[in-house]
Chain A
């Protein structure tokens, strides 16, 4: 093979047909660019949904009370008051797979501090909740187990509450009054933003559950739910079962008055949504690829047909069939590589621009680049090569006569 000489021939042929070369490359640029942009937006959205799911905490198993029936009216899930702090302690004590356990009690309340007031959600929890919810503190410190035991009047607050009550002072060390009981602010939680139900997760105050139950509200021993962290996602179903068994055992033969859910179930719904979206965007990308591919195919077929006479001249002058094939292969490869590279730049650039303009999250993935470039290059080379292969087999006399 006269590769070097043929490369020179191919480069000369590309150079002398600048417009045609540019159009061919443009087909590839558009195909590659469109796919990368589409998939990047889709991946960005998917990543955002996944981040929201992750913000709920890692590998969380939630125990909810069952339904209570009052005078024949069934109250629905979570309406009974049968889940207790003792249940939480039992899980902590007896379930080996429970990495961290926290009971949760909640009450919406008007809180007062720094001369301002704000209605927020007051939570009673154990210090483990930050680990379970994957929710570190932005500043200050968390309350300790000792403070839980002594039902200390301390709190950590969400960033929204910090903003509303302490807009111009450092909230750490300030005093907060809940139901006329003063609480010292120990720390501020990092901002989690909205969850995908649209609730502001930062609009909250967290107290030790003991303080919540004994100092602020006249609360019995019951809790709204218990959250338990599993060591891994895979361990969640097993942990779920162990908790169910333990609580059932503690209730003897009574009908179960609780439900144990794991986060996977929730995550699955969310992932399902993002998967649908990815599939949709993938379909759009597929259509762009197809259209781009047809464009490339057309211009390649037309250009080779148009050059039949040129092929005839080359054959008459002494080119072998394989010289012709190699020339067209090299031409198609150069155009595909060039178009592919520019297409990648355009696609990534467009994705970034859209992201900056609209605040859409975008995620450029290597796989989409590989797919787009690979497919376009394949189409370009296949449809540049096949007609050239046919033309190279022509009788030079016929090819020369071709008009």
Chain B
């Protein structure tokens, strides 16, 4: 197997909260290889968010080494980490975090505006449209976030995360604000992307969502307590079919009562 995208060695993160030292992460070592699809699970306060922020170069570990694509992130300053986030990482947040009153297309173009290499306006547009195409929203490129449903907004956010062709896609509870059917749809997008070779790490606290991934890490008290492949992996397209079937059945049964 090729060298891992992410290599964490004995990562520790300690916050000073008043006079109290909080050990959020207490020595996590982890390899993530190309093409993996990992779910990080854990209760709130388990350290999974800190681990995620560390992976996302938003936070720096107190000690330990973090090699992203062979580069030690712990050595980098604020600006270099910003460039790393722009070039090698894609973020999907629970709250979507799209710019309000800004079209889907312009939201997706945003990371390219902050790229080091100048991208021409037409190239920017072409790549943003391609990314929207991948998440199936090309025909809604000129819609504002307020005109899109939650699932569609999250797909725009995924397109934005993809547009700079990152080495690693990080999703922090991407389905946290979505209903179950939309969640499955979004997981379907992730599965398709993963099949195309994109490495994905996501945080979730829903076990059924984690079942769509390939590998599950359980974090507790700042340590990885379980690390195992997913048994009985769910396939989003099949689950969606089941859901639609169930819906249709429900409608059929309710039809004689004239509900619809």
Contacts and interface: CB of A to CB of B under 8 A. Distances in A.
Interface of A: 2, 4-6, 8-9, 12, 16-17, 309-310, 312-321, 323, 395-397, 400
B86 A318 contact: yes
B106 interface: yes
A316 B114 contact: no
Contact of A314 (B93, B98, B114): B114
Contacts of B86: 317-319
Contacts of A309: 97
Interface stretch (B3-11, B75-83, B248-256): B75-83
B101 A320 contact: no
Given A2-B114, A318-B86, A313 B79 contact: no
Interface in B79-116: 79, 82-87, 91, 93, 97-102, 106, 110-111, 113-115
B253 to A, nearest CB: 43
B113 A315 contact: no
A71 B30 CA distance: 123
B260 interface: no
Nearest to B78: A321
Contacts of B241: none
A8 B59 contact: no
**What are the nearest 10 A-B pairs in CB distance?**
A318-B86, A16-B101, A318-B114, A5-B113, A318-B85, A319-B114, A313-B97, A317-B111, A318-B82, A320-B79
B58 interface: yes
A70 B90 CA distance: 108
A320 B82 contact: yes
A64 B240 CA distance: 111
A16 B106 CA distance: 11
Given A16-B101, A313-B97, A319 B53 contact: no
Max chain A C-beta neighbours (<10 A), residue from B99, B100, B115, B160: B99
Given A318-B86, A395-B59, 20 more contacts: A2-B114, A4-B118, A5-B114, A6-B113, A8-B113, A16-B100, A16-B101, A16-B102, A17-B101, A313-B97, A313-B98, A314-B110, A316-B91, A317-B91, A317-B114, A318-B82, A318-B83, A318-B87, A319-B82, A323-B114
Contacts of A17: 101
Contacts of A8: 113
Nearest to A318: B86
Contacts of B106: 12
8 contacts: A9-B113, A16-B102, A313-B98, A316-B91, A317-B110, A319-B86, A320-B83, A321-B79
Contacts of A316: 56, 58, 85, 91, 97
A310 B99 contact: yes
A12 B115 contact: no
A12 B105 CA distance: 12
Interface residues of B, number: 28
Contact of B85 (A9, A317, A321, A400): A317
B104 to A, nearest CB: 13
B246 to A, nearest CB: 37
Interface of B: 53, 56, 58-59, 78-79, 82-87, 91, 93, 97-102, 106, 110-111, 113-115, 118, 160
Nearest to A393: B78
B37 to A, nearest CB: 22
Contacts of B91: 316-317
Contact of A396 (B58, B83, B100): B58
B86 to A, nearest CB: 2
A397 B53 contact: yes
Contacts of A323: 114
Contacts of B84: 318
Contacts of B98: 313
B114 A400 contact: no
A326 B46 CA distance: 38
Contact of B82 (A4, A312, A315): A315
Contacts of A4: 118
Contacts of B83: 318, 320
Nearest to A310: B99
A7 to B, nearest CB: 10
A12 B97 contact: no
A395 B118 CA distance: 26
B167 to A, nearest CB: 14
A400 B99 CA distance: 12
A313 B115 contact: no
B122 to A, nearest CB: 13
A8 B112 CA distance: 12
A191 B122 CA distance: 70
B59 A397 contact: yes
Contacts of A12: 102, 106
B99 A313 contact: yes
Nearest to B95: A400
Contacts of B110: 314, 317
B93 A400 contact: yes
A320 to B, nearest CB: 5
A79 to B, nearest CB: 84
Contacts of B53: 397
Nearest to A397: B58
Contacts of B93: 400
Nearest to B56: A316
A400 B113 CA distance: 19
Nearest to A323: B114
Nearest to B49: A397
A318 to B, nearest CB: 2
A400 B100 CA distance: 14
B19 to A, nearest CB: 21
B211 to A, nearest CB: 28
B85 to A, nearest CB: 5
Max chain B C-beta neighbours (<10 A), residue from A8, A313, A314: A313
Nearest to A396: B58
A9 B124 CA distance: 13
A75 to B, nearest CB: 85
B118 A5 contact: yes
B115 A318 contact: yes
